[in-house]
Structure formats: C-alpha cells, structure tokens
Homo-oligomer: A and B are copies of this chain.
C-alpha cells in the first residue's frame, strides 16, 4: 500500500500507555529524538505495538506546522 501522506519516519516503539479508548505511543527516531502519537487502543493492539517494535510515524503534510525561534 502506498499512501498520500508525505511524512513517514522510521522509529522504534519505546512506550505504550493505554487509556479506555486511546493509547499514547512514544517512539524513538534513529537519532534518539522522540515522537508521540495518540491512536485508538484498538489500533495499538491491531498493530501489535510493544516496546522495541519497528514502526513508521505517518503525518499528513497539512498537519505539520512550522515555528522559528
């Protein structure tokens, strides 16, 4: 499957915290920087997310803001 989302960053799952309907998943980029994702708990389970698993953080370009100091 090829998706229109322009941003896909390869990362490793570091921590999964489940709520009642959503899960917070912290992943780590190769350079050590963390990315935080909120997805449904059902998706977290469907994807078999657990510490150490290789994943891609996927973000639609229109959801990326830019900031300057």
A residues near B (Cβ < 8 Å) are 1-9, 17-25, 27, 29-31, 33, 35-40, 42-44, 46-49, 53-69
Q: Which residue of B lies closest to A7 (CB)?
A: B35
Residues of B within 8 A of A6 (CB): 36, 40, 42-43
- Chain B residue nearest to A48 (CB atoms) is B68
Q: Is the CB of A46 within 8 A of B7?
A: no
- Complex contacts, A33 vs chain B, CB 8 Å: 9
* Contact pick for A58, options B3, B20, B22, B56, CB 8 Å: B3
State whether B39 touches A4 (Cβ < 8 A): yes
A-B residue pairs, 3 tightest by C-beta: A19-B20, A37-B64, A4-B43
